[in-house]
A = this chain, B = another copy of it.
């Protein structure tokens, strides 16, 4: 009987959870399934043809430097490219303010490591991004919820939360949120900035989706309203390629310094070659041609989903109509259990994510569901939503 090492695990390991969504989504790979469950880019959005050229340019320009150990902070040409990329979003910073990580997931993990002492309280919007919860949970915090409406978190609820709890930080996906697609409105950003600045609170702003805008005017990053109280987190995963695992952040100086030290101990630095590819992708102007193509692919898919929902989803359901991103969030009337709907839909070869997984208290989210529109084409989306509408009506009449 081999040694199992159960008693060798750390206390914090018992706080880690497998991503539960992955468990219920195992059926999604069945043949013929139309999946509205994922949260990943369509492969057609990757600039494969350009990459032949970008690779050559990287090897010609940087040679061995693109393959060598490099700075913990990030590859200098990539950090400089991000200055121009962020400048276009009215985030005006210097290259030395950028820290590069292995995807924004690894920024969130390292923030957890540097900031969270077991038992610390983190404030989350309701519902919230599950990946952040699984990154933070390894450091044994507890969570409190901030109430939200269609414009994002409610300032009143934020004030009450900060009155009642000693909150280490507030975690927000500010634009086209995962899972709801909601955007914190400009007015709200101003109000939230006023509150956190006055109280000396810290916001982690996660902003992976803001470039995927299909209509309406851009809202400046929350960071621009309260730069001294915000860690700004973003990624090139949605505008270049997620497989390169490149995220980055801007942080107040002391937090920046300790993120750097923690990263040095955790992985020395991020992939130099991937950073060189991304630098070339931005500096060579590829990104400014590619993002409009991505938008032109996703926009009609979102329009198809919204139109199909109007036609097929019963009128006692409500859903978000985001100006961008990857998700629509639907909520049925009280009494609906979207996980039961999920299993019925899967029998009909349609998958989505039951929304309860995005709540600290799953009971709050029973009738909700997250619908992704980036992976299936318009016809498949129309068919999937028609099926979902049928499943909902059949389920009701049982």
Residues on A lying within 8 angstroms of B by beta carbon are 2-6, 8-13, 16-19, 40-41, 43-44, 46, 48, 51-52, 55-56, 59, 63-70, 101-103, 105-106, 109, 113-117, 120, 131, 134-135, 137-139, 168-169, 200, 202, 228-229, 241-245, 252-255, 258, 261-262, 264-274, 277
Contact = CB atoms under 8 A, between A and B. Distances in A.
Given A9-B258, A252-B2, A68 B264 contact: no
B3 A243 contact: no
B10 A120 contact: yes
A2 B202 CA distance: 12
A395 to B, nearest CB: 32
A271 B243 contact: yes
A13 to B, nearest CB: 5
A19 B245 CA distance: 25
A105 B267 CA distance: 5
B113 A10 contact: yes
A67 B243 contact: yes
A273 B58 CA distance: 14
Nearest to A114: B13
A3, A10, A68, A252: most-surrounded residue (chain B CB, <10 A): A10
Question: Top 9 nearest A-B pairs by Cβ distance?
Answer: A243-B272, A43-B64, A67-B241, A55-B55, A134-B265, A106-B267, A109-B266, A67-B243, A10-B117
B106 A6 contact: no
Given A10-B115, A46-B68, A115-B10, A105 B266 contact: yes
A41 to B, nearest CB: 7
B113 A202 contact: no
A68 B243 contact: yes
19 contacts: A2-B252, A3-B200, A3-B228, A9-B258, A10-B116, A10-B117, A11-B117, A13-B114, A18-B264, A46-B64, A46-B67, A48-B67, A52-B55, A66-B243, A67-B241, A134-B265, A137-B265, A244-B271, A273-B274
Contact of A241 (B5, B68, B106, B264): B68
Given A11-B117, A103-B268, A105-B265, 20 more contacts: A2-B252, A3-B252, A5-B252, A5-B255, A9-B258, A10-B113, A10-B114, A10-B116, A10-B139, A16-B265, A19-B264, A46-B67, A48-B64, A68-B243, A69-B242, A109-B267, A138-B265, A241-B273, A245-B269, A273-B274
A262 B8 CA distance: 15
A117 B9 CA distance: 8
Contacts of A255: 5, 8
Contacts of A135: 265-266
B69 A254 contact: no
A59 B68 contact: no
A16 B103 contact: no
A109 B138 CA distance: 13
Given A137-B265, A261-B18, A272-B243, A12 B117 contact: yes
Determine which residue in A102, A117, A253, A255 has the highest number of CB atoms from chain B within 10 A of its CB, and name it.
Answer: A102
